[in-house]
Structure 1
Amino acid sequence: MDDVDPLDSDEFDAATPAQGGSPATGSPFGIADGMGSAVENALGALDVDALVADAATAVVTKLVNNLAKEALSAALPPARLEQLQERTATAVERAVKPSPPSEDATTADETVYGSVDEWLRKYWRFTYRRRVSAKGSGTGRWKAEWWNTDEAVQRLETLWRGWEAARLDPGLGTSAWWINHAAPHMTALLAVDGPFADSRDENQVGEPLPYERPPEHLFPPDKQP
């Protein structure tokens, strides 16, 4: 619906005697000077869109309708009241009608992987290869059942979502992600006194990080084949 203000119509710029106005009053609505001025001031101060945005639609509609019936009916011609009510209905519809999602928002919501588990299983553990073992301080610690450790789940979830966002940045998005997210989070996860400190899982140099698939109900389905 077009946002057209029916009150801006030229045919209502001035009331004629047939509409109940009096050419001698000087009021653009053809109303007695005193009452006409008061009503016009009230209308000028009434921002229907703002009222609709700040209050419930039903309350605003009732307010304007009551105003029209009780106050304006004594001062404005019927056609003018009808236009005011039409303006109110337009404002109500505009306020409650949901805005369609923008193209940018749709793109931002799309992810390559369906969950952090899919991202870790198919991409990250093969990209970030580190030697891990259950002993000594020369290697890191990593748990194949990473999904049983709350801190690990939260850090990896943050890494995945950050990676999904960074890949959309054609500039330095990925570089900033490695420096500001991947490096500190993975350092914390692999620490010998970190969340996987009690892990007994190991791998060999160049192998992916140990991994065991979590129960199916924990994460959404995969997006990639």
Structure 2
Amino acid sequence: MKTALITGCSSGYGLETARHFHAQGWNVVATMRTPREGILPQSERLRVLPLDVTRPESIAAVLDQSGPIDVLVNNAGIGLFGAFEATPMAVVRDVFETNTFGVMAMTQAVLPQFRARESGVVVNVTSSATLAPMPLVAVYTASKMAIEGFTRSLALELQAFNVCVKLVEPGYGPSTRFTQNTGTRMEGTIPEAYTPFAQAVLTAFSQPAMVTTESDVAEAVWSAANDRSGQLRFPAGADAVALAQSA
């Protein structure tokens, strides 16, 4: 029986991915900064553990408690919407700490066991913002584009050890409340000069022709985790698939 460790499971894509892997009969280590009761089924095959991917000691503790794992799903992330001009560099660094460096730190922590066993899969969840330019998400996009390049190179680096590295690229999921986990990061990031443009962008976001659901992403992560064809990218959701095909 295989084990998946999934980050960012408190809501949205991570929560549904944890449910999906569990439903397929896997052992699941579902991690989140602050564990929440009752959001995942009670099961001997499912453990909920606290994890802050920006803290090395938290990463070490969760891996110590998890035991051997077969798949790491780097899903934890934070959103950010705003004009780059008005985004403090402290906020930029904060976004990169979770979306970029947190993914790298988790990956680096599991690679010794994968390499030693000559098996294992790392699935990095990025965004369809890497497939086509989108306004007012420059910082968020940059943090995810960094992981795209990281994943492409690492996949080649680990081939000799039979370790796979994959990308899942979700589209726009209104139900995930993209900016809810930003806290105070968005304060002041839409200055008056940008307001008319920002309003037009938000109106377009509120009337999407196609959207991505949590189950779309969970199924794409499942496919990536079990793929042995050499495929690197797995767009998730109708909008992401359309963007990938037109790229």
Fold similarity call, TM over 0.5: no
Question: What TM-score, normalized by structure 2, do the two folds share?
Answer: 0.19
Question: Which is strand-richer, 1 or 2?
Answer: 2
Rg comparison, structure with higher value: 1
Question: Which is helix-richer, 1 or 2?
Answer: 1
